[in-house]
Amino acid sequence: MSTIFRCVMVLAFVFAATTAMAQQTIKLATVAPDGSGWMRELRAAAAEVQVQSQGRVTVKFFPGGVMGSDAVVLRKIRLGQLQGGALTGSDLDGICRDAPVYSLPFLFNNQAEVDAVRKVVDPMLTECFQKGGMRMLGLAGGGFAYLMSTHALNSRDDLRSSKVWVPANDRVGEMTFKNGGITTIPLPLADVFTSLQTGLVDTVANTTSGAVILQWHGKIKYMVDLPLSYIPAYVLVDEKAYAKLAPADQAILLRSFNAAMNRIDAANRRENVQALAAIKKGGTQVLTPSPTEATRWREIGVTTTRQLDKANTFTPAVMANIHRILATQRGGK
C-alpha cells in the first residue's frame, strides 16, 4: 500500500513538475515601440523560442514604455508582474553595480576599443547580473552618445553657459558635468523634446540615430565629434522565472535572444552612420575639437572615473580589465 502510495506521489510530483514546465510565459517590457528595428528582432527571437521549445516557452512583449520607466519595470519584475525587460537606464546599478560601466564619460575613443573591452567584460557583467538575480540574455550597443547643441560648442568652456540636459537619476552624468564646472538640468527622457522646443535645455547628448528617432535633430545645429558615452541595452530575465524553464529551454532562450541582440548591435552601428549623414544633410554642423581641446574634454572623463574608482563604485576586477585592455589598444601608453 505504501509502495503504491509512494508511486502515486512520485507520479503526481512528476506530473506537477511537467505541467509547471509545460508552458512558461516570459513577459518582457521595453521602451522600444512596436515596429521599430529593435522590436522586429526581439519578436523574431521570441518566435524562434516558441518554435524551438515546441510551445513550452512564450515570450510576450510590452513595448512602447507602456509598463513605465526602467525603475517601474524593475519594481514590477520584483513583484512578479513582469519577468524581464530590455533596459538601458542607470537604474540597473541596483542589480549589478557594474551595469553603467560602459557609459563612463569619454571612456572609449572608438568602436574598436569597445569591441576589445566587451570581449572580456561582457561575461563579467553576465555574472554580475546573475548575482543580482537577473539572467542577461544579451547586450546590444546603441552606439556612442555625442554632445549636441542649438549653439556652437567650440570648447569645453562653451558648455558653462549652456543649458545642459542630463537624464534624471543619472548620477555618473551629473558627476561628469559637475567635474567640468557645468550646471545641468536633470529631466526624464520624455521631457527632452519639448524642453528643446521651449529652450529649457539647449544642449543634450544622444546617439545620432537616437537624435533622429526622437526628432531632436530638428533643433540640433551642432554636434561635437567626440564620443561622450557608450550606450548599452540589456535584455534581462528574472532568475526565478529563468530557473523554472527546463535546461534545454533555457539554452534556446539564451541563444535566440543573444543572437537577436547581436543583430541589433550590428544594425545600430550601420544606422548611426546613416543617421549622422542624414542630420549633416539637414544642416547640423559636426565640430571636430582640436587635439588640445579633445584632451581637455577627456580630462573630465578621467577625473570622473578616478572618483568612481576611489569610491569603489565598480568591481575592481572589471575596472582593472577595462584599463588594461584600453592601454593595450592605445599602444601600451
Partner 1 sequence: MKRFLAALILVSALGGCASLVQKAGDRFAENLGKAVLDSEDPATVRDGLPAYLLLIDSLIIDQKPGDAGNAPLLLAAAKLNGAYAGNFTGDDKPRAQRMARKALDYARRATCLQDKALCESLGRDPEQFSAVVQGNNNAVLMYALAASWAGYLQSNSEDWEAIADLPRIEALLLRAVALDPKLDGGQAYVYLGVLNSLRPEAVGGKPKQGRAYFEQAIGQSAGKNLYAKTLMAEYYARLVFDQELHDRLLNDVLAADPKAPGFTLINTLAQERAVKLLESGKEYF
Q: Which stretch binds partner 1 (CB under 8 A): 97-105, 111-119, 282-290, 310-318?
A: 282-290
Q: CB of 326: closest distance to partner 1 in angstroms?
A: 30
In angstroms, the CA 153 to CA 144 distance is 18
- Indicate the residue among 215 and 290 with the shorter CB distance to partner 1: 215
- Among residues 37 and 133, whose Cβ is nearest to partner 1? 37
Residue from 18, 25, 161, 274 that binds partner 1 (CB under 8 A)?
274
DSSP H helical ranges for the chain: 2-22, 37-52, 70-78, 111-131, 171-179, 192-198, 208-213, 239-243, 247-281, 291-310, 316-329
> Is residue 275 part of the contact set for partner 1 (CB under 8 A)?
yes
For residues 52 and 270, what is the distance between their CA atoms, to the nearest angstrom? 30
Cell digits of residue 137: 540574455
CB of residue 222 vs partner 1: minimum separation in angstroms?
12
> Please, is 127 exposed, middle or buried when counting C-beta atoms within 10 Å of its C-beta (0-12, 13-18, 19+)?
middle
If one asks whether residue 33 binds partner 1 (CB under 8 A), the answer comes out as yes
Given 8, 14, 51, 277, the residue binding partner 1 (CB under 8 A): 277
C-alpha cell at 122: 561582457
The DSSP secondary structure of 11-71, one letter per residue, reads: HHHHHHHHHHHH-EEEEEEESSPTTSHHHHHHHHHHHHHHHHTTTSEEEEEE-TTTT-SHH
Contacts 24+ apart (CB under 8 A), 314-319: 314/97, 314/98, 314/101, 315/97, 315/98, 315/124, 315/128, 317/124, 318/98, 318/101, 318/121, 318/124, 318/125, 318/128, 319/101
d(CA 167, CA 296): 23
Taking the C-alpha atoms of residue 123 and residue 103, their distance in angstroms, rounded to an integer, is 17
CB 179 within 8 A of CB 106: no
Q: Is 62 an interacting residue with respect to partner 1 (CB under 8 A)?
A: yes
For partner 1, the closer of residues 121 and 264 by Cβ is 264
- Closest distance to partner 1 from the beta carbon of 266 (Å): 14
116 binds partner 1 (CB under 8 A): no
* Residues within window 154-193 making contact with partner 1, judged by CB under 8 A: 189-193
Question: Total residues at the site for partner 1 (CB under 8 A)?
Answer: 37
In the complex with partner 1, the residue whose CB is nearer, 87 or 319, is 87
Closest to 123 measured CA to CA, from 258, 256, 241: 258
Told to check if 325 binds partner 1 by CB under 8 A, we report no
Span from 2-10, 27-35, 111-119, 319-327 in contact with partner 1 (CB under 8 A):
27-35
**Which one of 6, 199, 282, 320 is in contact with partner 1 (CB under 8 A)?**
282
Q: Whole-angstrom Cα distance, residue 24 to residue 253?
A: 12
| Shortest separation between residue 29's beta carbon and partner 1, angstroms | 10
| Closer of 149 and 329 to partner 1 (Cβ) | 149
- Residue 56 or 221: which CB sits closer to partner 1? 221
Which residues 187-246 are close enough to bind partner 1 by CB under 8 A?
189-194, 209, 212-215, 217-219, 221
Tell whether residue 262 is a contact of partner 1 (CB under 8 A): no
Using CB under 8 A, pick the residue from 5, 19, 247, 281 that binds partner 1.
281
Nearer to partner 1, 125 or 192 (CB): 192
* 63-92: contacts with partner 1 (CB under 8 A): 63-66, 68-69
The binding site for partner 1 (CB under 8 A) comprises 31, 33-35, 37, 62-66, 68-69, 189-194, 209, 212-215, 217-219, 221, 271, 274-275, 277-279, 281-284
